[in-house]
Amino acid sequence: MAVMGIAEALREGIREEMRRDPTVFCIGEDIGVKGGWGGAFTVTLGLVDEFGPERIIDTPISESGFCGIAIGAAMTGMRPIADVQYGDFLFCMMDQLANQAAKMTYMAGGAVKVPMVMRAPVGSTRRGAQHAQTLEVFFTHVPGLKVVAPSTAYDAKGLLKAAVRDDNPVLIFEHKLLYGSKGNRAEKGAVSPIGEVPDEDYVVPIGKGAVRREGKDVTIVGKLLTVYRALAAAEELAQDGIEAEVIDPRTLVPLDKEMILESVRKTHRFVVVEEDNRTHGWGAEIAAMVAEEAFWWLDAPPTRVSAPDTPPPFAPNLEELYVPSVERIVSAVKGLM
């Protein structure tokens, strides 16, 4: 058992999968340059020393192109782990992900598989509108993709390994404030949870959520950074005698609906917290699911705490307003009691 952050846990997961299976390889920008960065947030740092540039493949700045290359390799016997430096760049490869990777198995009538991983850092971190979005919902909407969002080191390694072994395209969203990247890639204001990660082989099954805190009065669902905001809110609420249950779905597609519904049937109140625009959002989907499937257990309307419908702002004081704060979560919960 070792103690580490998410960036290191992902790195160890990649290392173990590449040692286990010669068809696994990494492809992306600035991931294997000797003396370089190990990707934008150090996840692949040093892997080129062990696996060489043939399996840690640096690409030109060609997001759509290398995504397509990963898809083609996956369709023909390889298991690529691709990554983008910032999740925002996924929009450059939207056709490859949404039209090609996601639909290939279906339009082939089940005759072709696309076992690939695409990793993407998200989250507002004082970089302004094009390097700060939390955009999982664009992909959770597309049938054929699986989407995971680990918020602990244990889950990061276990979900990465599960994603590599999955026979479908899996997107892994990672939050920049949770990585625990070190040196000059460390982030201001980072939460950087560290946790115990087993040395032995394990996976976190795709599709299973986690109850991060038990409670009987309200269910709060968060993902990535907002899991930690929700836990801090639960701590404050407890001072006022309100016991919040905090659920981290860990996988967004397929969603562990039953874990959320079971909690709501117990607490009768529901809040979802997302660092993303409110309208037509992920939180809207989760809230609708709760309204449809647990309506008769609810004592109050399903409620969203979201970013406003603006691009992520740059100014730190505006960014504070944009990302759901502990205070906004506490206030939303109190409004339901």
Partner 1 sequence: MTSVPSAPSVPFVPSDLLNLYRTMLLIRRFEERCNALFLQGRIPSTLHLYIGQEAVATGVCSALRKDDWVFGTHRPHGHALAKGVSPRVIMAELMAKVTGCCRGKGGSMHVGDVREGAFPAIAIVGAGLPIAAGAALSAKMRGTDQVAVGFHGEGAANEGDWHEALNMAAIWKLPVIFVCENNLYGASTHFAKAFAVAHVADRAAAYGMPGEVADGNDVVAVCEAAERAVRRARSGEGPTLVECMTYRQCGHSRSDACDYRPDEEEASWKERDPLKVAADRLASSVPPVPFDPAAIEADVAAEIDDAIAFAEASPPPSPDDLMRHVYWEGD
Does residue 169 contact residue 97 with C-beta atoms inside 8 Å? Answer: yes
Question: Pattern of binders to partner 1 over 284-303, x per CB under 8 A?
Answer: --------------------
Q: DSSP label at 149?
A: -
Instruction: State which amino acid sits at residue 317.
Output: N
Q: How many residues does the chain have?
A: 337
Q: Residue 234 — left, alpha, or beta (φ > 0 → left; ψ -120 to 50 → alpha)?
A: alpha
Binds partner 1 (CB under 8 A): choice among 4, 67, 132, 264: 67
Binds partner 1 (CB under 8 A): choice among 15, 23, 33, 165: 23
Stretch that binds partner 1, among 64-72, 188-196, 272-280, 296-304 (CB under 8 A): 64-72
Considering only residues 114 to 143 of the shown chain, the ones binding partner 1 according to CB under 8 A are 114-115, 143
- Cα–Cα distance, 152 to 6 (Å, whole number): 6
Q: Does 68 bind partner 1 (CB under 8 A)?
A: yes
Q: Does 99 bind partner 1 (CB under 8 A)?
A: yes
Binds partner 1 (CB under 8 A): choice among 3, 108, 288, 315: 108
Q: Does 112 bind partner 1 (CB under 8 A)?
A: yes
Question: In the bound complex, what is the minimum distance in angstroms from residue 99's beta carbon to partner 1?
Answer: 5
- Cα–Cα distance, 305 to 307 (Å, whole number): 7
131 included as an active-site residue: yes
Q: DSSP label at 193?
A: -
78: exposed, middle or buried (Cβ count in 10 Å: 0-12, 13-18, 19+): middle
Nearer to partner 1, 115 or 324 (CB): 115
Question: Pattern of binders to partner 1 over 239-278, x per CB under 8 A?
Answer: ----------------------------------------
Nearer to partner 1, 166 or 274 (CB): 166
Alpha carbons within 13 A on the beta-carbon side of 216 = 1
Does residue 267 contact residue 260 with C-beta atoms inside 8 Å? Answer: no
Q: Which sequence positions are flagged as catalytic?
A: 131
